[in-house]
Amino acid sequence: MATVASRAPDLLIRGRKVVGGTTEGEALVTRQTISGWGGVNPMKGEIIETRHELRGQSFAGKILVFPGAKGSSGWSAMFHTTRLTGQAPIGLLYNITTTKAALGAVVMRVPTLTDFDSDPLDQIEAGDWVRIDADQGIVSVWKGGRPQ
């Protein structure tokens, strides 16, 4: 899964480690907070909230870039379930620390960062290629997709 990108990233963002580890993949980005229980289908790894801009889209195998978690306290258990079904995201970048997002990241066991020096939502777009080194607190971004 982890590949070594051959050219330098277009930008770097620094943040605080939530869950350690490294990963890289395609970004899925939303400026809307995400509901866990009642907002995602854990069997498909899909956003189902009625008025959500990502409704119908899957976060499975992607790096989810979002402002934070909202809604039911079932957030962690719902995202934990995506780990069981193999539909979990492979990394998280969020701005707002809540118990829901923090616990969800812990039990999904995916590299996660928050408290950034600049807002990922202003710089990362859907489809960009993102590498998270959570232990070093560094996000590397390649615009427009996987670097050749």
Partner 1 sequence: MRLSDDEKAMRDGAQGPAVAKAMDLLIRYGEALGAEDFVYTDNIAGVPGSSPKWVKEYYAADGGDYRAVFSRFDLDSDEVVDVPRINGFSCHLQGGMDPELWREQGMTEEAFANFQADEREVAGHGIQVLKTCTPYLAGNVPVMGEHCAWMESSAVVFCNSVIGGRTNCEGRESTSAAMLAKRIPNWGFHTDDFRKGQHLIEVEAAVDSIFEWGLLGYFTGSAVEDAIPVLDGAISDAALIKHKHFGAAAASSGGVEMYHMAGITPEAPTVEAAFGGANRGQRFTYGANERRETYERLNSVGESRDVDYVMLGCPHYSADQLAEAARMLEGRKVHENSDLWIFTSRAVKATAEASGSADIIRNAGAKLMTDTCSAISQAVPPGTRVAAFDSAKQTHYLPAIMGIEGWFGTTQECIDAACTSRWNGRLS
Residues tagged active-site:
72
User: Binding segment for partner 1 among 2-10, 79-87, 119-127, 140-148 (CB under 8 A)?
Assistant: 79-87
Q: Which of 8, 56, 73, 117 binds partner 1 (CB under 8 A)?
A: 73
Answer for which of 77, 121, 137, 143 binds partner 1 (CB under 8 A) is 77
The site for partner 1, by CB under 8 A, has a size of 36
57, 58, 95, 98: which one contacts partner 1 (CB under 8 A)? 98
3-class DSSP state of 129: strand
Query: Which stretches within 1-148 are classed as H helix?
Result: 75-85, 99-108, 120-123
> CA 112 from chain center: how many Å?
7
Backbone conformation region of residue 14, classed left if phi is above 0, alpha if psi is from -120 to 50, else beta: beta
Q: Which of residues 38-57 bind partner 1 (CB under 8 A)?
A: 38-39, 48-50
| Contacting residues for 4 by C-beta, under 8 A, at least 6 apart | none
DSSP secondary structure letter of residue 53 = T
Residue 19, CA atoms < 13 Å, CB-side half-sphere = 18
CB of 129 to partner 1, least distance (A): 25
Single out the segment in contact with partner 1 by CB under 8 A; choices: 22-30, 74-82, 118-126, 136-144: 74-82
Q: Can you tell me whether residue 89 is helix, strand or coil?
A: coil
- Return the amino acid letter for 62: K
What residues make contact with partner 1 under the rule CB under 8 A? 16, 18-19, 33, 38-39, 48-50, 68-77, 80-81, 84, 96-100, 102-107, 109, 112, 115
